[in-house]
């Protein structure tokens, strides 16, 4: 095959008649290969297959989306619980000294189990 003639033909510089038989044969092979190649790359899957393939991509995306939503809801719940809902003050109002606390507990118990002096 004459490569110059082949390229000249593809570039539109030469007519088909100007090509030799070998180049013409190669050109037919090239055209066939190109047709098959084009056919392959112009492939359009059926609607069913397309849906199946797209489903494979959208499913993980949906799971990710649901996880993200869940995290957001939990975060919002934490924020509301710890920042917006008024909390009961569980801390002792003030520090009670040990001696005062012991006096109170002891006298309360003696009063509870005893009936006087």
Partner 1 sequence: MRRTLFLAAVVLVTSFVFAQSFIELYLNSSYFGRRIVVERGPTNKSRIEMVYRWPNDKIVHVLDPVFLVWARRSGLFIMGQPNNYRNSPLEILDLEDLFIKQLREQGITKLEKIDKKYKVTVDSPSGLFTAFITEEGLPEKIVRVFNNVTTELVYEHVEVLKEGFEEVAQRYGIKSAEETVNLPNEIKLILSTVNWYTVSRLKIGDEQVVMIIANHKSGSVIKMVCSSKDVTVNTEQNEQLLRIKGKDYYLYVIAQDQSVLEQVKSLLTKER
Site string for partner 1, 72-111 (x = CB under 8 A): ---------------------xxxxxxxx-xxx-xxxxxx
Q: Alpha-carbon distance 29 to 22, whole Å?
A: 11
**Which class for 23: exposed (0-12), middle (13-18), buried (19 or more C-beta within 10 A)?**
buried
**Which class for 91: exposed (0-12), middle (13-18), buried (19 or more C-beta within 10 A)?**
exposed
- Nearer to partner 1 among residue 12 and residue 92 (C-beta): 92
| Minimum CB distance to partner 1, residue 109 (Å) | 7
| Minimum CB distance to partner 1, residue 103 (Å) | 5
Kindly list the residues in this chain that would bind partner 1 in the complex (CB under 8 A).
93-100, 102-104, 106-117
């Amino acid at each position: 095959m004459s490569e110059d003639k082949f390229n000249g033909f593809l570039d539109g510089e030469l007519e088909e008649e100007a090509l030799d038989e070998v180049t013409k044969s190669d050109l037919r092979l090239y055209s066939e290969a190109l047709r098959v190649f084009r056919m392959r790359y112009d492939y359009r899957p059926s609607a069913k297959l397309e849906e199946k393939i797209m489903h494979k991509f959208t499913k993980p995306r949906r799971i990710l989306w649901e996880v993200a939503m869940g995290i957001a809801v939990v975060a919002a719940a934490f924020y509301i619980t710890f920042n917006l809902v008024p909390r009961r003050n569980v801390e002792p109002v003030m520090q009670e000294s040990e001696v005062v606390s012991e006096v109170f507990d002891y006298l309360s118990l003696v009063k509870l189990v005893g009936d006087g002096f």
